[in-house]
Amino acid sequence: MKLCSMLLRLRVILLERQEEEEEEKEEEENNNKKKKEEEEEEEEEEEEEEEEEDDVCIELQK
């Protein structure tokens, strides 16, 4: 009976660890996704700024 009880406890512990690992992995994926989105947004802003600078230069040349 003790062995069965110990095995059940181990099973619960393993399931809890597995759940924690899955949550950590999901959190990491979300963080990576957010970081990537922020980088893409920053790149877009830089491109827009460059286009605006180019437009100003073109206007000044006229």
pLDDT digits (tens, 9 = 90+) for 13-57: 999 999 999 999 999 999 999 999 999 999 999 999 888 888 877
Question: Measuring CA to CA, how many Å separate 17 from each of 10, 21, 31, 37, 43?
Answer: 10, 6, 21, 30, 39
Q: Indicate yes or no: pTM above 0.75.
A: no
Which single residue is written with the structure tokens 């099973």? 11
- The number of distinct structural domains making up the chain is 1
> How far apart are alpha carbons 24 and 27 in whole angstroms?
5
Domain range for 7: 1-62
Residue 39: its pLDDT value, please? 97
DSSP 39-52: HHHHHHHHHHHHHH
Residue 62: its pLDDT value, please? 63
